[in-house]
A and B are shown apart, each in its own frame.
Chain A
Amino acid sequence: MRLYTELNEETFHARKLLAEWRDEKLINEEQYERLENETVCELRTTNIFLRLVFFFFTVVGVAAFGGLVAWSLLRDSSEPTIGIFLLIYAAVCYAIAERAASQANLYRYGIEEALAVCSVVLLCGGMGLALFSGRHLAPRELEFLVPAAGAVFSLWIWQRFGLWYALPAAMILIAWLPEYWTSSRWAQHVLIAALYAIGLVWVLAIRSRHRLDYLNSVYSLAEAFLWLGIYLAINLQLSVLTFRARWLIGDMRPPSEFRSWFYWATWVLIWCVPAVVLARGIRQKDRFVMAVGGVVSIVTFVTNKPYLGWTRHTWDPMILGVVLTGVVLWIRRWLARGPDGVRAGFTAARLSAKDKEWMNLTSSVLGLVSAPSTPTHGEDFRFGGGASGGGGAGGEF
Chain B
Amino acid sequence: MTILARLEHWKAEGAISPEQHVYLASLYRGDLVSVFLELNLLLYAGVLAFVAGLGWTVTTWSKQLGDVLVLAVLSAILAACFWYCFSRAPEWSLTETLTPTAIFDYVLYLGCLVWVVELAYLENRFHVLSGQWDYYLLATAVVFFFLAYRFDNRFVLSLALSSLAGWFGLTISHWPSHQDATYRQCGLLYCVVIGITAVLLKQRGVKQHFFGTYLNVAANVLFWSLLSGVFQRDGHWIWSLALLIACGASLGWGLKRRQFVFVAYAAVYGYVGFSWILLRGIHDPTVALLYFVVTAIAMLVALVRIAHRFGASK
Residues of A within 8 A of B (CB): 7, 10, 13-14, 17, 21, 26-27, 31, 34-35, 38-39, 41, 44-47, 49-50, 52-54, 56-58, 60-61, 63-65, 67-68, 71-72, 109, 111, 212-214, 285, 287, 290-291, 294, 298, 314-325, 327-329, 331-332, 335, 342, 345-352, 355, 358-360, 362-368, 370-377, 380-387, 390-391, 393-394, 397
B303/A290 in contact, CB under 8 A? no
Given contacts A49-B260, A49-B264, A60-B296, contact A320 B57 (CB under 8 A): no
Chain A residues whose CB sits within 8 angstroms of the CB of B6 once the complex forms: 14, 39
**Complex A-B, nearest 3 residue pairs according to Cβ-Cβ distance, in ascending order:** A367-B158, A321-B50, A371-B162
Is A318 a contact of B155 with CB atoms below 8 Å?
A: no
Task: Please measure, in the bound complex, the distance between the C-alpha atom of A50 and the C-alpha atom of B310, giving whole angstroms.
Answer: 12
Tell me if B314 and A44 are in contact (CB < 8 A): yes
Q: Measured between alpha carbons, how far is A353 from B48 in the docked complex, in Å?
A: 25
Majority secondary structure, B binding face: helix
Are B154 and A372 in contact (CB-based, < 8 A)?
no
A324 and B45 in contact, given A359-B37, A364-B155 (Cβ under 8 angstroms): yes
Residues of A with C-beta under 8 A to B281? none
Complex contact B260–A58 (CB within 8 A)? no
A57-B303, A393-B63 known; A14+B36 contact, CB < 8 A: no
Contact B57 A314 (CB under 8 A): yes
B93 within 8 A of A: no
Give chain A residues whose Cβ lies under 8 Å from the Cβ of B29. 212
Distance (Å) between the CB of B38 and the closest chain A CB?
A: 6
Q: State how many angstroms separate the Cβ of A378 from the closest Cβ of chain B.
A: 8
Cβ contacts under 8 Å, A60 to chain B: 292, 296
Task: Write the nearest CB–CB distance from A143 to chain B, whole angstroms.
Answer: 30
**B residues 211-268 in Cβ contact with A at 8 Å:** 213, 216-217, 260-261, 263-264, 267-268
Q: Which residues of B contact A366 (CB under 8 A)?
A: 44, 155, 158
Residues in A neighbouring B60, C-beta threshold 8 A? 314, 384, 386-387, 390
B193: interface (CB < 8 Å): no
B197: Cβ under 8 A from any A Cβ:
no
Interface centre among B16, B31, B155 (most CB of A within 10 A): B155
In the complex, the answer to whether B38 meets A287 with C-beta atoms within 8 Å is: yes
Of B46, B121, B297, B313, the residue contacting A321 (CB under 8 A) is B46
Residue among B6, B116, B291 with most chain A CB within 10 A: B6
- How far apart are B150's CB and chain A's nearest CB, in angstroms? 16
Q: A344 → chain B, closest Cβ, in Å?
A: 9
Are B20's CB and A26's CB within 8 A?
Answer: yes
- Which residues of A have CB within 8 Å of B30? 285, 345
* A317-B49 contact, Cβ under 8 Å, with A65-B293, A71-B286, A351-B34: yes
A14 to chain B: which residues have CB within 8 Å?
3, 6
A and B contact pairs by CB, cutoff 8 A, 5 listed:
A57-B271, A287-B38, A318-B53, A372-B162, A377-B133
**Chain B residues within 8 Å of A348, by CB:** 34-36, 39, 102
Residues of B within 8 A of A56 (CB): 268
Interface-centre pick from B43, B58, B63, B119 (highest chain A CB count, 10 A): B63
Cα(A13)–Cα(B63), bound, Å: 60
Binds A, one of B79-87, B166-174, B183-191: B166-174
Question: How many angstroms from the CA of A322 to the CA of B4 in the assembled complex?
Answer: 43
Pairwise interchain contact B50-A322, C-beta atoms closer than 8 A: yes
Are A54 and B303 within 8 A (Cβ)?
Answer: yes
Tell me the smallest distance from the CB of B4 to a CB of chain A, in Å.
Answer: 6
Q: Are B156 and A367 in contact (CB under 8 A)?
A: yes
Q: Answer whether residue B161 sits at the interface, using C-beta atoms and an 8 A cutoff.
A: yes
Nearest chain B residue, comparing its CB with the CB of A367: B158
| Complex interface: chain B residues within 8 A of A380 (CB) | 124, 131
B300 at the interface (CB under 8 A from A): yes
A27 to B297, CA, bound (A): 41
Q: B149 at interface (Cβ–Cβ under 8 A)? A: no
Supply 20 further A-B pairs (C-beta < 8 A) apart from A314-B56, A328-B46: A13-B3, A26-B20, A31-B15, A38-B15, A65-B289, A68-B286, A68-B289, A71-B286, A212-B2, A324-B43, A332-B39, A345-B30, A346-B35, A351-B36, A355-B37, A360-B154, A364-B155, A372-B166, A376-B170, A383-B62
A348 to B61 alpha-carbon distance, docked (Å): 39
Report B128-164 residues with CB < 8 Å from chain A CB.
Answer: 131, 133, 136-137, 140, 153-159, 161-163
Interface positions, chain B 11-27, Cβ under 8 Å from A, are: 15-16, 20, 23-24, 27
Look across to chain A and name the residue whose beta carbon is closest to the beta carbon of B157: A367
* Interface residue B1 (Cβ < 8 Å from any Cβ of A): yes
Alpha-carbon distance between A315 and B286 when the two chains are bound, in angstroms: 58
Q: Tell me if B32 and A386 are in contact (CB < 8 A).
A: no
B34 & A347 in contact (Cβ 8 Å cutoff): yes
- Tell me whether B47 and A384 are in contact (CB under 8 A): no
Q: How far is the CB of A103 from chain B (nearest CB, A)?
A: 15
**Residue among B45, B46, B113 with most chain A CB within 10 A:** B46
Q: Find out whether the CB atom of A64 lies under 8 angstroms from the CB atom of B53.
A: no
Given contacts A332-B102, A370-B159, contact A383 B124 (CB under 8 A): yes
| Chain A min CB distance to B183 (Å) | 13
Cβ of B92 < 8 Å from any Cβ of A? no
Would you call A383 and B59 a contact (CB within 8 A)? yes
- Check A372–B268 contact: CB distance below 8 A: no
Contact A64 B23 (CB under 8 A): no
Q: A316 with B42: in contact, given A382-B124, A393-B64 (CB under 8 Å)?
A: no
Contact B125 A383 (CB under 8 A): yes
User: Whole-angstrom distance between the alpha carbons of A71 and B290 in the complex?
Assistant: 11
Q: Which residues of A contact B276 (CB under 8 A)?
A: none
Taking CB atoms, residues of chain B closer than 8 Å to A34 are 15
Contact A359 B40 (CB under 8 A): yes
> Nearest chain-A residue to B103 (Cβ)?
A329
Instruction: Report yes or no: A328 in contact with B43, Cβ–Cβ below 8 A.
Output: yes
A347 close to B32 (CB less than 8 A): yes
Closest to A21 in B: B24
Shortest Cβ gap from B293 to chain A (Å): 5
Q: Which of A47, A65, A322 has the most CB of B within 10 A?
A: A47
Report whether B260 and A47 are in contact in the complex, using a CB–CB cutoff of 8 Å: yes
Q: Which residue of A lies closest to B1 (CB)?
A: A10
User: Which of B31, B131, B174 has the most C-beta atoms of chain A within 10 angstroms of its own C-beta?
Assistant: B131
**Which one of A287, A373, A383 has the highest number of Cβ atoms from chain B below 10 Å of its Cβ?**
A383
B285 beta carbon closer than 8 Å to chain A: yes
Considering the complex, which residues of chain B in the window 67-119 have a beta carbon less than 8 Å from any beta carbon of chain A? 102-103, 105-106, 113, 116, 119
